[in-house]
Amino acid sequence: MNLVFERAEVERELGAATGEVLETMFFASIEEMARDRVEGGSGDRVGAMVAFHGACEGRLAISLDRGAVKGLAAGFFGEDAAEMGVDQCESVMGELANMVCGAMLSRLERKAIFCLEAPVAFAADADCGGWIEKDFALDDGLLHLAFSLSGAERAGPQ
Amino acid sequence: MAFDVMVVDDSPAMRRFIRRVIEVSGFTTGKYLEAGNGIEALAELDGNWVDVVLTDINMPVMDGEALVAEMRRRPHLRSVPVIVISTDATDARIDRLSELGAQGYVTKPFAPERLREEIERVLGVTPEGALVGATAGDKGGGDELSF
């Protein structure tokens, strides 16, 4: 199967999947930020990336201010944010990346089979640019997403 | 009425989340077993009977599809209900797992109520022990869970 996605469609579904995952599983609401309004974060960020293959190949990388990750992890586990350690923060970011990526791919093509690899943590200050990048404001931090597809599967203006 | 449950997921965070949802749902668990992949799950299931298996799909060593297929091949595990919990909401994947013998499918993200409803449907009973579908008033489902 050779899937081709329009940029506008991917942007729309990435935003919708992110909102759905954060509201349903993390009890957090988000507001999309225009890219020209995004300012640099605190510098202490947690990153996670999930790669996928199957009907098409690519990856989703996300990063978020560490303080906000603690809040997300607390919502996910039902515990106090102060008790959330490094491992818990990284595993929750991995789950967030996994769920957003899976939900978005399912929205884009319901007839195909995708395989998501295990999420991996990465240094959030590393280059994680993508074909499509989005930023969402949470209550106490900025969530950055960078989605990439292999070149043959993109369509529309770059 | 206590249920014996196995959760199979390579993510400890997701296993912990699912356990919390089951507890909040009001189900009383007897044995609560966890495994990080299909091979670990089969090893546990060889010595432990459970009422239901909740499994992810994408896992290292042995994935969820292979686990369901192997459970259906083994006589002592053939009748154990399996509910798949996955980010993959594609029709192709859901159809494939159904053909392999999974009785339930919950796509992530999911509200706690959704997982409770699927467990009730597959087990045929509510957390309170009422038969699902006996009477609408007895079902106990559909309420928003305090999470």
Q: Quick: pLDDT tens for A26-67.
A: 988 888 887 666 665 557 889 999 999 988 899 999 999 988
B72 contacts: CB under 8 Å, gap ≥ 6 = B78, B100, B101
Q: How many CA atoms lie within 13 A of B75 on its CB side?
A: 0
Instruction: Report the share of chain A in percent with pLDDT over 70.
Output: 85
* A24 chain-B contacts, CB cut-off 8 A: 109-111
* B17 chain-A contacts, CB cut-off 8 A: 25, 76-77, 95
Best of B17, B108, B113 to disrupt the A interface (most A CBs within 10 Å) is: B108
Contact criterion met (CB below 8 Å) for B53 and B8: yes
Q: In B, residues 12-41, which contact A (CB 8 Å cutoff)?
A: 12-14, 16-17, 20
Interface of A with B (CB under 8 A): 20-21, 24-25, 27, 76-78, 88, 91-92, 94-95, 98-99, 101-103, 105-107, 109-118
The pLDDT assigned to A155 comes to: 62
The CATH class of A7-152 is: alpha beta
Tell me the C-alpha distance between B17 and B33, whole Å: 14
- What pTM, to 2 d.p., does this model score? 0.85
Distance from the B107 Cα atom to the nearest Cα atom in chain A, whole angstroms = 8
* B92 chain-A contacts, CB cut-off 8 A: 110-113
The pLDDT assigned to B142 comes to: 41
Average pLDDT of the segment spanning B84-105: 93
Domain boundaries, given as residue ranges, for chain A:
7-152
Distance of CA A106 to the CA centre of its chain: 15
State the DSSP string of B74-135. Answer: STTTTTS-EEEEES---HHHHHHHHHHT--EEEESS--HHHHHHHHHHHHTB-TTSPBTTS-
* B86 chain-A contacts, CB cut-off 8 A: 102
For chain B, the 3-state helix, strand and coil shares in percent, each to the nearest 5, are 40, 20, 40
Chain B residue closest to A119 (CA)?
Answer: B11
Q: Quick: pLDDT tens for B3-37.
A: 999 999 999 999 999 999 998 888 888 999 999 99
- pLDDT at residue A1 above 80? no
Write out the two tokens for A27: 């009890």
pLDDT band at B71 (very low <50, low <70, confident <90, very high): very high
